[in-house]
Amino acid sequence: MCSKGTCTGVKKSCDDGNPCTKDSCFKVIGCFNSPTEGASCDDGNACTKADACVAGGTCKGSLLSCDDGNACTKDSCDPKKGCVKEALTAPCTDGDACTKGDVCVQGACKTGAVVKCDDNNPCTDDSCDKVKG
């Protein structure tokens, strides 16, 4: 709009809502949204980490590992919640060769029964080695 020889108006917003673009306005071409590769962003997926802008103006992250190394949990990832651990009920090993029948209870390995090492020889000292059995 021109008034008294001066053009006035409302400044146009060139914000495209994409955190991976630099938004600019030029008199000749109008809005220009250039990619900002390497800039930090959030892809909205709780199963990714180190999210960054990549070519084409998109946000991507590397997959998050949810493996806790615990045989008594089933580990998975929910894009909205992140890592999810489900307690399993299954046989496991507590690392003690002197026990048997170990089982997962509420996400932890519960020690089973003690292995009997009695060889029925009264002349020997019966014991169990936690590593060898």
pLDDT tens-place values along the chain, 133 residues long:
666 767 777 778 999 999 999 999 998 899 999 889 999 999 999 999 999 999 888 999 999 999 999 999 999 999 999 999 999 999 999 999 999 999 999 999 999 999 988 888 888 888 888 888 7
Q: What is the pTM of this model?
A: 0.63
pLDDT at 1: 60
Q: What is the dihedral of CA 38, 42, 48, 52, to 10 degrees?
A: 0
pLDDT at 79: 98
Mark out the alpha helices in the chain (DSSP H runs). Answer: none
